[in-house]
């Protein structure tokens, strides 16, 4: 067994604390990864606090992982020991269903759906109609730890030109915003709206600008307007009626990155006919909306979930090619609970990234 | 001037009563139509009762009109005197904007949007940014009258094989359900859900079955299950948890014809990934919904507005080709207020159609 040290929540109301876990050593098609950095996603907080009612404890989050391959199974061909690699939200899927065969693993329709990097399969045994678990486990432990063991085809290559610590959030925040823009066909010259300007919004703006779109950020925080402009976007303060009215019927695509329930009524009239408002963050009950302007313009309110493994590699390469990367603030893991508080307040635009070297201290103390 | 006799509401709270109006005689590109039948649409009731807050009184509804050309302007080439023709929801549009040029007049982005058969332009002068009215009028009078004058290119040809009285509802109920099925690519073998089984639902089922789809009707009225089966569809009573659970993740497309606010949460889980729930009737504020399953399956909640002029002709020809037509009950116009009550109760599956010959009685009394 491989002993891993990490941080986990034991209950929905507890702070994250150090724990030790055992991981299986790499099978023939798996690699072992020494973690260098792990991004802090708003989902980590939702999951630790059991906001979706499906958390298995202890909950060790982390699905924006960058590290180096330290060992590999006999049949591994994609990665070599020493390679700089990444692990995103998924570490396996059924490989048999329509979406899996089409390369859309994030919509896996297998009996247990896909296997999340932490918190286990999307459909644990109890929820699966078969009552079984093809992955053999109902919990997984994520990248808030010093070592990970993952199937080689769910491991991404990190381009050398991206700063290592900044590569981590591309694995979730990057692909979550890139995938819907690709799916809904965002192209140069399109007018794109980005609602919410935290970690996901930051990546959405950078990617959309790099795609050649004309980008407008909608934010509740006045101070973020100037930050949007620095990235080559326009900024509008939500609730500014005059600015909104001037933008009616103009957007080809609006991406909402708000990780909570939110009113969509201010945004639907801004869409062109046949355009979509896609919310990737609100895994939650939403308030009522006025369907009249949706009908009047054949508009869509849609959702999108992370992105496929192929798209994750694509967005990593896209970021390298365009010289873009998330704004990050590196913290030792001992500051994780403070970081959660700040992310929850909605004030931070950058992404917190854990420097996994800080886990050495816990290891020393445990020894 | 052409004197027309019809039925109209004078206030939001009044019953429809006979009135006389003057119509301009046909211009060079217009035809005059002696009305034979006019369908009764749920929108007629919403408009008369000012449910959308935009009604201009007197309000003379009727946008499912079948009649014979009785006179034509000098440049008219599409229609001859004596031709059996139809008029749907639109009688003009700007002809200049992107959607108009693409043949999507129902999404006209001209200063006043399209001109409705009754209640005038979708954007009256006061609402238009230009403050003017390209159509020269802020009210129009629909097919609850004995004569209509309409631009030739907004007049449809009624195929001879469709029973004349049954052709009327195809002009709104038919195209409103046909257009989204075409737009979202419904094809033979697809699993299609139809929510609500009134006049629109009846047409949706017939068209989807004729397209070769595997159709399931969701209705609140137990008795309608057998009627769905008669049309070659399956029937499920809304709220039947067991039946719904067995249908999870199976539908390629769900069309909601409910003309009021309604909960969408029971239907989203029934969609396949990448599939859409399209509501064509709920021009209203909708209750909150759970966005989680929308994100998890990249699903869409969308709307669709009637259909284009080209699609209206297409659906008329499609109905003729497949030998389908709405179930109708013909009434004299003197029973219109009673008919409204029954439509509002949601009990009727057929479409009421006014026999316009009954207006002769009003004409005689007025003389």
DSSP-derived secondary structure for B124-148: -TTTSTTS--TTS-S----SSBSEE
Nearest to B123 by CA among A249, A22, A20, A70: A249
Taking CA atoms, A113 is separated from A107, A125, A289, in Å, by 7, 10, 31
Q: What is the CA radius of gyration of chain A?
A: 20
Interface contact B301-A300, CB threshold 8 A: yes
Q: Tokens for A42, please give them.
A: 């708003």
Chain A nearest CA to B256, separation (Å)? 12
**Test mutation, A294, A306, A307, chain B, max B CBs within 10 A:** A294
In this complex, do A273 and B107 lie within 8 Å of one another by their Cβ atoms? Answer: yes
Q: Closest Cα to residue B137, out of B269, B34, B23, B257?
A: B23
Taking the model in full, what pTM does it have?
A: 0.93
Per-residue pLDDT at A152 exceeds 80:
yes
CB-CB contact of B306 with B172 (8 Å):
yes
- Name which residue leads in pLDDT, B1 or A180: A180
Q: What is the mean pLDDT of residues A314-336?
A: 97
* pLDDT number for residue A176: 97
Distance in angstroms (rounded) separating the CA atoms of residues B113 and B110: 5
Residue B21 has a pLDDT of: 95
What is the structure's pLDDT at A349? 73
Taking an 8 Å cut-off on Cβ atoms, the answer to whether A291 and B298 are in contact is no
> Closest partner residue to B305 among A284, A287, A298, by Cβ?
A298
Nearest to A329 by CA among A195, A218, A169: A169
Mean pLDDT computed over every residue of chain A = 95
Interface contact A273-B109, CB threshold 8 A: yes
The chain A residue lying nearest B123, using CA atoms, is: A296
* B357 — pLDDT class (breaks 50, 70, 90): very high
Query: Out of A249, A286, A294, whose CB is closest to B303?
Result: A294
Give the pLDDT confidence score for residue A350 in this predicted structure: 85
How many CB pairs below 8 Å do chains A and B form together? Answer: 118
Residue B50 near residue B124, CB atoms below 8 Å: no
Q: Cis bond leading into A318, ω under 30°? A: no
B174-303 placed in CATH 3.40.50.880: no
pLDDT in tens, A248-304: 999 999 999 998 899 999 999 999 999 999 999 888 899 999 999 999 999 999 999
Rounded average pLDDT over B296-321: 98
**Low-confidence winner among A63-67, A223-227, A363-367 (lowest mean pLDDT):** A363-367
B78: helix, strand or coil: coil
B303/A295 touch (CB, cutoff 8 Å), yes or no: yes
CA within 13 Å, CB half, A160 = 2
Do the Cβ atoms of A290 and B301 come within 8 Å?
Answer: no
Residues of B in contact with A300 (CB under 8 A): 276, 300-302
Contact B273 A107 (CB under 8 A): yes
Question: Does B299 sit within 8 Å of A303, measured CB to CB?
Answer: yes
Q: Which fold has domain B2-172+326-366?
A: Quinone Oxidoreductase; Chain A, domain 1 (3.90.180)
Q: How far apart are CA A352 and CA A38, in angstroms?
A: 9
Crossing angle for the helix pair A173-183 and A199-210, to the nearest 10 degrees: 50
Identify the residue whose tokens are 């010259």: A189
pLDDT surpasses 80 at B183: yes
A80 DSSP assignment: -
Look at residue B128 in the predicted model and tell me its pLDDT.
86
Instruction: Answer yes or no: do B298 and A295 touch at CB < 8 A.
Output: no
- Mean pLDDT for A72-95 is 98
CB B265 within 8 A of CB B239: no
Same fold, B2-172+326-366 and B174-303: no
* pLDDT averaged over every residue in chain B: 95
Look at residue B366 and tell me whether its pLDDT is greater than 70: no
Average pLDDT over residues A134-143: 94
Q: By CA distance, what is A257's nearest residue in B?
A: B295
On whether the CB atoms of residues B76 and B22 are closer than 8 A, the answer is: no
Q: Is residue B251 within 8 Å of residue B272, measured between CB atoms?
A: yes
Distance (Å) from the C-alpha of residue B332 to the closest C-alpha of chain A? 32
User: Residue A20: pLDDT band by 50, 70, 90 thresholds?
Assistant: very high
Crossing angle of helices B309-322 and B199-210, in 10° steps, is 70
- Average confidence (pLDDT) over B2-18: 95
Mean pLDDT in residue range B190-210: 95
pLDDT band, very low/low/confident/very high, at A239 (cuts 50, 70, 90): confident
Nearest to A286 among B288, B296, B302 (CB): B288
Q: What are the C-alpha distances in Å from B276 to residues A293, B184, B281?
A: 17, 8, 15
CA atoms within 13 Å, Cβ hemisphere of A98: 6
Q: Which chain B residues touch A107 with a CB distance below 8 Å?
A: 273-274, 296-298
| Chain A: closest CA distance from residue B83 (Å) | 32
Domain boundaries, chain B: 2-172+326-366, 174-303
Indicate whether B346 pLDDT > 80.
no
Name every residue in B having a CB less than 8 A away from some CB of A: 52, 99, 104, 107, 109, 122, 180, 183, 249, 261, 273-274, 276, 279-280, 282-292, 294-305
- Token reading at B171: 């002009």
B122, closest residue in chain A (CA to CA): A296
Instruction: Check pLDDT > 90 for residue B295.
Output: yes
User: Of residues B24 and B365, which shows the higher confidence score?
Assistant: B24
Q: Is the Cα dihedral A275, A279, A284, A286 positive or negative?
A: negative
Question: Quick one: pLDDT at residue A199?
Answer: 86
- Minimum distance, in Å, between the CA of residue A249 and any CA atom of chain B: 9
- The answer to whether the Cβ–Cβ distance between A295 and B283 falls below 8 Å is yes
Residue to mutate among B295, B304, B307, with most A CBs inside 10 A, is B295
How many CB atoms neighbour CB B194 within 10 A?
30
Is A342 in a helix, a strand, or coil? helix
Closest CB from A261, A274, A280 relative to B295: A280
pLDDT the model gives residue A254: 98
Which of chain B's residues have a Cβ under 8 Å away from the Cβ of A276?
Answer: 300
Nearest Cα neighbor of A66 from A174, A166, A161 is A166
Residues of A in contact with B298 (CB under 8 A): 107, 180, 183, 302-305
**Which stretches of chain A sit within 8 Å of chain B by CB?**
52, 99, 104, 107, 109, 122, 180, 183, 249, 261, 273-274, 276, 279-280, 282-292, 294-305
Cα separation, B100 vs B238, in Å, equals: 39
- Three-point CA angle A311, A263, A351, nearest 5°: 45
Q: What are phi and psi of A15, to 5 degrees?
A: -75, 160
pLDDT of A366 > 70? The answer is: no
Over 80: is that where the pLDDT of A367 sits?
no
ipTM of the complex: 0.94
CB contact under 8 A, B298 and A52: no
Choose, out of A246, A302, A306, A307, the residue to mutate when testing the contact with B (most B CBs < 10 Å): A302
For testing the chain A interface, which of B294, B307, B308 should be mutated: the one with the most A CBs within 10 Å? B294
Cβ–Cβ below 8 Å for B295 and A287: no
Burial class for A75, CB neighbours closer than 10 Å (0-12, 13-18, 19+): exposed
Nearest by CB: A292 against B283, B290, B296: B283
Mutate to test the interface with B, among A179, A252, A303, A305 (most CBs of B within 10 A): A303
């Amino acid at each position: 067994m491989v002993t891993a040290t990490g941080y986990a929540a034991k209950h929905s109301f507890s702070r994250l604390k150090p724990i030790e876990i055992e991981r299986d050593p790499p099978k023939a098609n798996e690699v072992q990864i020494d973690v260098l950095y792990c991004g802090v996603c708003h989902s980590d907080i939702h999951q630790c606090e059991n906001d979706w009612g499906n958390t298995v404890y202890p909950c060790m989050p982390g699905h924006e992982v960058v590290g180096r391959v330290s060992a590999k199974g006999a049949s591994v061909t994609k990665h070599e020991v020493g390679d700089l690699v990444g692990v995103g939200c998924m570490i396996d899927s059924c490989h048999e269903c329509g979406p899996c065969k089409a390369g859309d693993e994030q919509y896996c329709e297998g009996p247990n759906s896909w296997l999340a990097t932490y918190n286990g399969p999307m459909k644990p045994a109890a929820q699966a109609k078969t009552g079984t678990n093809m992955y053999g486990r109902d919990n997984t432990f994520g990248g808030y730890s010093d070592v990970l063991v993952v199937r080689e085809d769910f491991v991404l290559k990190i381009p050398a030109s991206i700063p290592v610590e900044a590569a981590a959030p591309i694995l979730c925040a990057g692909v979550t915003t890139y995938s819907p823009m690709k799916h809904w066909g965002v192209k140069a010259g399109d007018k794109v709206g980005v609602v919410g300007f935290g970690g996901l919004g930051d990546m959405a703006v950078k990617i959309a600008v790099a795609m050649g779109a004309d980008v407008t950020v909608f934010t509740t925080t006045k101070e973020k307007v100037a930050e949007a402009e620095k990235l080559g976007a326009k900024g509008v303060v939500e609730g500014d009626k005059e600015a909104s009215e001037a933008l009616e019927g103009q957007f080809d695509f609006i991406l909402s990155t708000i990780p909570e329930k939110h009113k969509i009524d201010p945004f639907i009239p801004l869409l062109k006919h046949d355009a979509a408002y896609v919310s990737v963050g609100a895994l939650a009950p939403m308030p009522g909306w006025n369907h009249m302007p949706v009908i009047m313009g054949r508009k869509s309110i849609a959702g999108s979930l992370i992105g496929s493994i192929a798209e994750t590699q694509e967005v990593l390469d896209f970021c390298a090619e365009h010289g873009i990367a998330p704004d990050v603030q590196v913290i030792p893991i001992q500051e994780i609970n403070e970081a959660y508080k700040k992310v929850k307040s909605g004030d931070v635009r950058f992404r917190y990234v854990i420097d996994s070297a800080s886990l050495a201290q816990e290891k020393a103390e445990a020894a």
